[in-house]
């Protein structure tokens, strides 16, 4: 796990103040703590970790940006990447279980992408806790997730 403090002098309301690459299931997942005290996760890194194709990744980013439920749960953050500072679509930690649950495991996926299917199930079950632990938000994340699910189910 690599930690990095970020100084972003842009005009964004929400800016990253701490960045970590969290190792999960052999993949490095970009997670950041922002100035609003929330943890956000780079959608691209989660999609790559699952093994989604570039087209599937683009589709997931579009769905997050247009979904009514996620309207207040994602941001674009300027983050240092291998290609320099770039705007990255990030989803708030508490929204990850819901987002991943919305990715359907179709019969076609099971047949043609068994590794992706297995990874997706593992991510659906475990990634939120792993990322929360990286920022010591285990208890708070669990409580926030329960509150989010209650709102969604009502």
Checking if the pLDDT of 76 tops 50, the result is yes
**Confidence band for 1, pLDDT divided at 50, 70 and 90:** low
* Mean pLDDT of the region 49-76: 95
Domain ranges across the chain = 2-153
Contacts 24+ apart (CB under 8 A), 73-77: 74/40, 74/43, 75/14, 75/34, 75/40, 76/12, 77/8, 77/12, 77/14, 77/15, 77/16, 77/32, 77/34, 77/40
Q: What's the pLDDT tens digit per position in 128-153?
A: 999 988 887 544 545 555 565 555 55
Distance, CA of 19 to CA of 60 (rounded, Å): 22
pTM of the model: 0.80
Q: What's the pLDDT tens digit per position in 2-48?
A: 555 444 444 558 998 899 999 999 999 999 999 999 999 999 999 99
Distance, CA of 132 to CA of 140 (rounded, Å): 8
């Amino acid at each position: 796990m690599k930690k990095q403090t970020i100084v972003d002098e842009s005009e964004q309301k929400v800016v990253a103040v701490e960045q970590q690459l969290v190792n999960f299931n052999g993949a490095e997942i970009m997670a950041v703590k922002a100035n609003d005290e929330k943890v956000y996760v780079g959608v691209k890194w989660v999609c790559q970790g699952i093994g989604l194709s570039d087209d599937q990744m683009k589709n997931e980013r579009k769905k997050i940006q247009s979904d009514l439920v996620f309207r207040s749960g994602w941001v674009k953050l300027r983050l240092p990447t291998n290609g320099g500072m770039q705007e990255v679509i990030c989803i708030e930690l508490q929204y990850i279980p819901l987002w991943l649950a919305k990715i359907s495991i179709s019969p076609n996926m099971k047949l043609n992408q068994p590794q992706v299917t297995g990874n997706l199930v593992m991510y659906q079950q475990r990634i939120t806790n792993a990322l929360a632990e990286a920022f010591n938000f285990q208890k708070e994340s669990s409580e926030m997730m329960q509150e989010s699910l209650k709102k969604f189910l009502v």
